[in-house]
């Protein structure tokens, strides 16, 4: 059985707004096994990217982690000082950022950007670092690695920049890879190539991957398990096949229902009314209640707990409707 690679326990992240603190990630807990791809899904503003940046310790100055643990093979990353976390970041855990054109330094050639991490984490000469950068670019399917190494980011296409980002992340062969919307703004052909590449990396290196996305098609194709977030909270967790076959939370049902299905004959897709609440004015009770067609009085008054809902402990859900059904059963 695969060992747990990452354990996130009761993570709470807050941002300072004016003179008060607002909670962006609220008591989030999940784990990732070696060689597993875990999907983290939800609308924009649900706390997915903040969760990943909290794990990587890359939060802005106006933010803080006020509670929880982030255990990478048993080591709590939140207890490490800046010098220690720099040694871990890139070597043991790496991240593919959402916007490659914004994440790459426009004034620095690709070779310099890749070899920085290689030289930091390995006792390599500049020649060895150059060869490693060449090899890793070749491994991600870049046809002319030497020319790409000499290029600036603006000279490359979006798909090429995304491959460079993946190459940078994989240059030191980390055990955990965090991919934040890795296929955003790419055409479907390049998107398929990037996903295939990530699956190859997982299979060859037994790398654990946290796949952050709003694209449920990517989730269905790539992931083993799925965590659904809403308003900074986990509202459902399940193995991917069970989630799509029998989702329990109304929010998850709404997300899946809004995905177009080929040959369904449906002229207009259902949508979830309203929007994700502002962090500073969270509704009382269940945070999804104002948008939920099944909302009851208790939903508007009391926030539901995240309960395990199967005997194996693989499924969790946060919903009063399920609590009521269990009591009636």
**Residue 265 forms part of a structural domain:** no
- Among 6, 34, 56, smallest CA distance to 203 is for 34
Of the three residues 148, 173, 198, the one that is the final residue of a domain is 173
How far apart are alpha carbons 116 and 70 in whole angstroms?
26
- CA angle 192/50/101 to nearest 5° reads 50
User: What single-letter DSSP state applies at residue 235?
Assistant: E
In the chain, % helix, strand, coil (3-state, to 5) comes to 40, 25, 35
Report, as an integer, the average pLDDT of 231-258.
Answer: 95
Residue 272, phi then psi, degrees to nearest 5: -90, 120
**Residue 225 forms part of a structural domain:** yes
Do 50 and 147 lie in a common domain? no
How far apart are alpha carbons 41 and 21 in whole angstroms?
25
CATH number of the domain that 311 lies in? 3.40.50.300
More confident call, 196 vs 176: 176
Do 16 and 28 lie in a common domain? yes
Q: Are 96 and 171 in contact (CB under 8 A)?
A: no
**Residue 48 forms part of a structural domain:** yes
Q: Can you state the angle between helices 158-170 and 110-121, rounded to 10 degrees? A: 10
Model pLDDT for residues 282-319, shown as the tens digit of each residue: 999 999 999 999 999 999 999 999 999 988 888 999 99
- 324: CB partners within 8 A, 6+ apart: 296
Do 131 and 26 lie in a common domain? no
**pLDDT at 225 exceeding the cut of 90:** yes
**3 state DSSP class of 90:** coil
Do 34 and 157 lie in a common domain? no
Total structural domains within the chain: 2
DSSP per residue, 157-180: -HHHHHHHHHHHHHTT--SEEEEE
Do 81 and 34 lie in a common domain? yes
Do 77 and 148 lie in a common domain? no
**Residue 252 forms part of a structural domain:** yes
Domain boundaries, position 155 = 100-173
Q: Are 78 and 69 in contact (CB under 8 A)?
A: yes
**Residue 149 forms part of a structural domain:** yes
The answer to pTM > 0.85 is yes
Burial of 273 (0-12, 13-18, 19+ CB in 10 A): exposed
Of the three residues 119, 139, 173, the one that is the final residue of a domain is 173
Binned at pLDDT 50, 70 and 90, residue 264 comes out as low
**Residue 42 forms part of a structural domain:** yes
- CA angle 71/212/174 to nearest 5° reads 50
**Residue 253 forms part of a structural domain:** yes
**Residue 309 forms part of a structural domain:** yes
**pLDDT at 219 exceeding the cut of 90:** yes
Of the three residues 173, 188, 210, the one that is the final residue of a domain is 173
Binned at pLDDT 50, 70 and 90, residue 133 comes out as very high
H or E element, residue 118: helix 110-121
More confident call, 217 vs 7: 7
Do 88 and 107 lie in a common domain? no
Do 83 and 19 lie in a common domain? yes
Express as a percent the part of the chain with pLDDT over 70: 94
Q: Are 252 and 228 in contact (CB under 8 A)?
A: yes
How far apart are alpha carbons 282 and 304 in whole angstroms?
15
- CA angle 88/89/92 to nearest 5° reads 60
Do 182 and 165 lie in a common domain? no
Do 203 and 74 lie in a common domain? yes
Binned at pLDDT 50, 70 and 90, residue 185 comes out as low
Do 110 and 128 lie in a common domain? yes
- Among 141, 205, 119, smallest CA distance to 131 is for 119
Model pLDDT for residues 108-132, shown as the tens digit of each residue: 999 999 999 899 888 899 999 999 9
What's the chain's average pLDDT? 90
- Among 268, 194, 233, smallest CA distance to 47 is for 233
How far apart are alpha carbons 186 and 161 in whole angstroms?
11
Burial of 122 (0-12, 13-18, 19+ CB in 10 A): middle
Do 185 and 149 lie in a common domain? no
Structure tokens at 113: 């950007």
């Amino acid at each position: 059985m695969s060992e747990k690679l990452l354990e996130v326990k009761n993570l709470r992240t807050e941002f300072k707004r004016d003179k008060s603190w607002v909670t962006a990630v609220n008591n989030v807990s999940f784990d990732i096994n070696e060689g597993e791809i875990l999907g983290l899904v939800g609308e924009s503003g649900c706390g997915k990217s903040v969760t990943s940046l909290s794990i990587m310790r890359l939060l802005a100055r106006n933010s803080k982690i006020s509670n929880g643990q982030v255990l990478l093979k048993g080591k709590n990353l939140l207890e490490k000082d800046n010098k220690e976390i720099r040694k871990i970041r890139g070597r043991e855990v790496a991240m593919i950022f959402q916007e490659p054109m914004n994440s790459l330094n426009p004034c620095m050639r690709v070779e310099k950007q890749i070899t920085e991490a290689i030289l930091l984490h390995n006792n390599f000469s500049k020649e060895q670092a150059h060869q490693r950068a060449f090899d890793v670019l070749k491994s991600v399917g870049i046809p002319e690695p030497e020319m790409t190494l000499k290029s600036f980011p603006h000279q490359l296409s979006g798909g090429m920049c995304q491959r460079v980002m993946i190459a940078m992340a994989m240059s030191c062969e980390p055990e955990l890879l965090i991919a934040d919307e890795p296929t955003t703004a790419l055409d479907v052909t390049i998107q398929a190539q990037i996903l295939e590449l990530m699956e190859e990396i997982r299979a060859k290196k037994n790398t654990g991957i946290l796949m952050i996305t709003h694209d449920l098609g990517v989730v269905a194709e790539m992931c083993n398990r799925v965590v659904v977030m809403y308003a900074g909270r986990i509202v459902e967790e399940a193995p991917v096949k069970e989630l799509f076959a029998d989702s329990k939370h109304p929010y998850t049902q709404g997300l899946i229902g809004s995905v177009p299905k080929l040959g369904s004959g449906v002229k207009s897709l259902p949508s979830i009314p309203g929007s994700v609440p502002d962090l500073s004015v969270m509704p009382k009770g269940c945070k999804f209640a104002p948008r939920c067609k099944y909302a009851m009085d208790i939903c508007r008054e009391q926030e539901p707990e995240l309960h395990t809902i199967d005997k194996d402990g693989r499924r969790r859900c946060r919903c009063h409707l399920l609590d009521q059904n269990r009591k009636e059963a």
